[in-house]
Structure 1
Amino acid sequence: MKKYKDLSPSPRTIMTPGPVEVDPRVLRAMSYPILGQFDPEFTGLMNETMGMLRELFQTENEWAFPIDGTSRSGLEAVLTSVIEPGMKVLIPIYGRFGHLLAEISERCGADIVTLEQEWGKVFDPEEVIGAIKREQPAVVAMVHGETSTGRIQPLAEIGRACRELDVLFVVDAVATIGGVPVETDNWCIDAVIGGTQKCLSVPSGMAPITYNSRIEQHIMQRKRIERGLRDPGEPLLELGRTIRSNYFDLSQLQDYWSAARLNHHTEATSMLYALREGLRILLEEGLEARFARHLLHERALASGIEGMGLELYGDPACKLPVVTCVAIPDGVDGEAVRAMLLEQFSIEIASSFGVLKGKIWRIGTMGYSCRKQNVLQVLGALEAVLTYCGSSVNKGAAVQAALVVYREAEAT
């Protein structure tokens, strides 16, 4: 019989846009004994998690719970439950994950209208609002923080316009939740999808979502159609309006997360422990303090990169605070640099997608990975590898530039 070695993953400094290093307290929480999914102690943890998610999403919504699955499961749950075949959906795209929203919406049978912005930039809100008025969609779906380009889209004006025009506004905040402000209620967002493996520093495997009564009314109307029920005088509607997915049916998931506890699936017990602990740690730190921490380490990293003589990619006016994109110098093999960082320093940074593949590196400063030690290590290691590869850099300048940022912060 073949013998297999004990599992012993190599320790890494993970500075990608996700997944990131998991807080040791979260890992500890995942080792706790399993409870049954209807054990009152466990359902109490479910309720606590919902309350914490409301604080995280800055919302008064009744519904705030995780979808069991990676971040994409949250996107699919919301879009599958909201979009009916033939429904017009406007998707402004400024990077890879806008295209993902379009692909999922297309699979839901949507009539898709897209706006496209040059990668490295975001939309002027007025451009999106103009398209909403022109196209009159039922839904606008948009990415808040686009990790493929390292940009962040202003949403408040778009959200207010959607509310005034009675358009549902769905936002992918997978990269931003827990790292930068996501003001669900103030920005008039109807549904928000987050992720665990980025700024929350929890393993991939859950997708926290929240949605308001506007979304709930829509999906419950679809549910009534499925059950053959309708309001008096309401015309008969085609079967195509029913929610096609069972697993991603928010109307059923509501029943599971409500006091009724109607069985829908077996909850991912250890992942819920992890999410609850990650949220507890986040709220203990405080949202404002956490946002300020991410800004500090972003500033130190960017100062070090520029001090080294490298260029930052993209429009600085809309830079995503938790992802820093670096233009790969001419004549440098970006993948060889990444490989050497991993092999010699146990540091992982990311490449990019599509038109940017081979042109930029993406360095994440997210959650537990977002700390001074990691920033200084990645700057020193990147400088060493580029020097080894024969690239001209300002030797010794990167770490010093970052230290200046940290010293100034400590002095204030």
Structure 2
Amino acid sequence: MTAIPPLDPPARLLMGPGPISAYPSVLRAMSAPLVGQYDPFMTGAMSDTQELYRQVWATENDATLLVDGTSRAGIEAALVSLVRPGDRVLVPVFGRFGHLLAEIAERALAEVHRIEVEWGQVVPVSLIEEAILRVKPHVLALVQGDTSTTMNQPLDEVGAICERHGVLFYTDATASLGGNPFEADAWGVDAATAGLQKCLGGPSGSAPITLSDRAVEAIRSRKRIEAGIREEGDESASDFVRSNYFDLGMILDYWGPRRLNHHTEATSMLYAARECARVLLAEGRDAVIERHRLSGAAMLAGVEGLGLTVFGDVAHKMHNVVAVEIPDGVPGDAARGALLDDFGIEIGTSFGPLHGRVWRIGTMGYNARKDTVLTTLAALEAVLRRFGASVPAGGGVEAASEVYSGAAG
């Protein structure tokens, strides 16, 4: 039998749409010793993490916690816990991840209604309100930042519209939280979920979530199963949450003062999530968002300085990722492979109608820095030249450097 060598991942600079290179202190936190799930240190770390994420989300919500699993686990927990079979759910779609929200709601047996706009655009708020009046949904499920298109959907007016019409407002902030403005309370968000692997600067595997009192009330109103026994008088399972693991009513009890057992908390991921939030708040939430804005602006200027065409409505682009059209005659996947093999830099392709048409380049978390932006642009220029593209010598690095110099001045 051939011996399997120790794990030794190659050095990579992750400059795609996520996952990204984690903050070193997050990786160190994950190597901390394990403790029992009811050890006072553990329960204290859970409480610390809740308070940290209240500040990250800009909320006073008591129900602010983690769902153990990737960002998609958080999405699923929110939707299956808020949505009963037959409930109407409205999903505005402007990229791949709107379709994901719709699919998860359909699996929860919701009556799903979609409104769609062309990829590369955001959904006008007027269109959302018109659809709410027409559909009369129980939940509006809306992505904030969709990395498939790089668009950042404005949310600041949506919560008031939902409250006016008695609609619960859920948003998926996986790709946007920490690198773009997010104001849970000020915007009237009822439920929001994210992941660590984008602007928060950690590994995939933990999903921060925050829930308003309205959302908690809706979740608590669902029928419950305790230890396999239904509540007395229940004859139908139609109102039970259609998942045990993702039942937020049970997860809230686990994170609440009674600490009722539901699952064994993913200790190392808790450490990671705690450190992601601590790092962000130590630097300053607004300062981190500005760092993402600046590096995103530098990367945008850099790819334009190389003569590349930017995809989509730049006025609504997320700070932390840009999509560029692959130049004619350049084999997209082969060029990405050369960037990875020769420079150790990863950038992304895209999905659906954009597959093979654009590259997506991320500047987020630990990698929202001047050195990573300039290194990526210099390497991209070399690869483009290798594959026959005519690009201005030093054009990308020079344009990005001017953005940074202007900010410093």
* TM-score, reference length from structure 2: 0.97
**Residue of structure 1 in register with 2:184 after alignment:** 184
Structure 2 counterpart of 1:105, which letter? A
**Residue of structure 2 in register with 1:171 after alignment:** 171
For 2:99 and 2:368, the matched residues in 1 are separated by 28
Cα deviation, residue 397, structure 1? 1.1
**Residue of structure 1 in register with 2:104 after alignment:** 104
**Residue of structure 1 in register with 2:276 after alignment:** 278
Distance 1:137 1:409, change over 3 A: same
For 1:224 and 1:252, the matched residues in 2 are separated by 9
Cα deviation, residue 227, structure 1? 4.4
Cα deviation, residue 5, structure 1? 1.4
| Segment of structure 1 superposing worse, 312-321 or 337-346 | 312-321
* 2:382 equivalent to 1:410: no
Cα deviation, residue 309, structure 1? 0.8
Contact 1:253 1:264 in 2 (8 A): yes
Deviations 1:353-394 (A, max 9, x none): 000001000001110011111100110001000011111111
**Residue of structure 2 in register with 1:295 after alignment:** 293
**Residue of structure 1 in register with 2:259 after alignment:** 261
For 1:303 and 1:243, the matched residues in 2 are separated by 47
DSSP 3-state at the match of 1:361: strand
For 1:306 and 1:285, the matched residues in 2 are separated by 30
Contact 1:88 1:139 in 2 (8 A): yes
For 2:157 and 2:133, the matched residues in 1 are separated by 14
For 2:386 and 2:395, the matched residues in 1 are separated by 16
For 1:304 and 1:238, the matched residues in 2 are separated by 59
* TM-score, reference length from structure 1: 0.96
Cα deviation, residue 238, structure 1? 4.5
Contact 1:152 1:318 in 2 (8 A): yes
Contact 1:151 1:320 in 2 (8 A): yes
**Residue of structure 1 in register with 2:375 after alignment:** 377
For 2:235 and 2:124, the matched residues in 1 are separated by 38
For 2:120 and 2:242, the matched residues in 1 are separated by 36
Contact 1:149 1:325 in 2 (8 A): yes
Of 224, 227, 231 in structure 2, the residue corresponding to residue 228 of structure 1 is 231
* 2:34 equivalent to 1:34: yes
For 1:143 and 1:177, the matched residues in 2 are separated by 11
Structure 2 counterpart of 1:329, which letter? P
* 2:163 equivalent to 1:197: no
Deviations 1:331-357 (A, max 9, x none): 111111100000000000000000000
Residue pairs, 1:289-328, within 5 angstroms: 289-328=287-326
Cα deviation, residue 60, structure 1? 0.7
**Residue of structure 2 in register with 1:341 after alignment:** 339
Cα deviation, residue 223, structure 1? 2.9
Distance 1:229 1:254, change over 3 A: farther
Cα deviation, residue 278, structure 1? 1.2
**Residue of structure 2 in register with 1:83 after alignment:** 83
Contact 1:223 1:251 in 2 (8 A): no
Structure 2 counterpart of 1:194, which letter? A
For 1:195 and 1:171, the matched residues in 2 are separated by 13
**Residue of structure 2 in register with 1:399 after alignment:** 397
Contact 1:173 1:193 in 2 (8 A): yes
For 1:229 and 1:21, the matched residues in 2 are separated by 51
Cα deviation, residue 405, structure 1? 1.1
Contact 1:350 1:362 in 2 (8 A): yes
For 2:246 and 2:309, the matched residues in 1 are separated by 43
Report the aligned-residue RMSD.
1.3
For 2:113 and 2:235, the matched residues in 1 are separated by 25
For 1:384 and 1:323, the matched residues in 2 are separated by 21
For 1:301 and 1:214, the matched residues in 2 are separated by 40
Of 239, 242, 258 in structure 2, the residue corresponding to residue 241 of structure 1 is 239
For 2:204 and 2:44, the matched residues in 1 are separated by 23
Structure 1 counterpart of 2:151, which letter? R
DSSP 3-state at the match of 2:157: helix
**Residue of structure 1 in register with 2:350 after alignment:** 352
Deviations 1:201-232 (A, max 9, x none): 111100100101111111111135994369xx
DSSP 3-state at the match of 2:37: coil
Distance 1:387 1:79, change over 3 A: same
Structure 2 regions of 5+ residues with no counterpart?
Answer: none
Structure 2 counterpart of 1:47, which letter? S
DSSP 3-state at the match of 2:126: helix
For 2:398 and 2:237, the matched residues in 1 are separated by 64
Structure 1 regions of 5+ residues with no counterpart?
Answer: 231-235
DSSP 3-state at the match of 1:363: strand
For 2:223 and 2:56, the matched residues in 1 are separated by 29
Structure 2 counterpart of 1:188, which letter? G
Structure 1 counterpart of 2:119, which letter? W
Identity %: 51
Cα deviation, residue 395, structure 1? 1.5
For 1:298 and 1:229, the matched residues in 2 are separated by 56
Structure 2 counterpart of 1:368, which letter? Y
Residue pairs, 1:117-196, within 5 angstroms: 117-196=117-196
Cα deviation, residue 237, structure 1? 8.2
For 1:176 and 1:345, the matched residues in 2 are separated by 27
Cα deviation, residue 398, structure 1? 0.9
Deviations 1:100-149 (A, max 9, x none): 00110000000010001000001110111111011111110010001000
Structure 1 residue runs of 4+, over 4 Å off? Answer: 224-227
Structure 2 counterpart of 1:144, which letter? Q
For 1:164 and 1:369, the matched residues in 2 are separated by 40
Deviations 1:277-309 (A, max 9, x none): 111110001111011000110111111111111
Structure 2 counterpart of 1:228, which letter? E
DSSP 3-state at the match of 1:241: coil
Structure 1 counterpart of 2:146, which letter? E
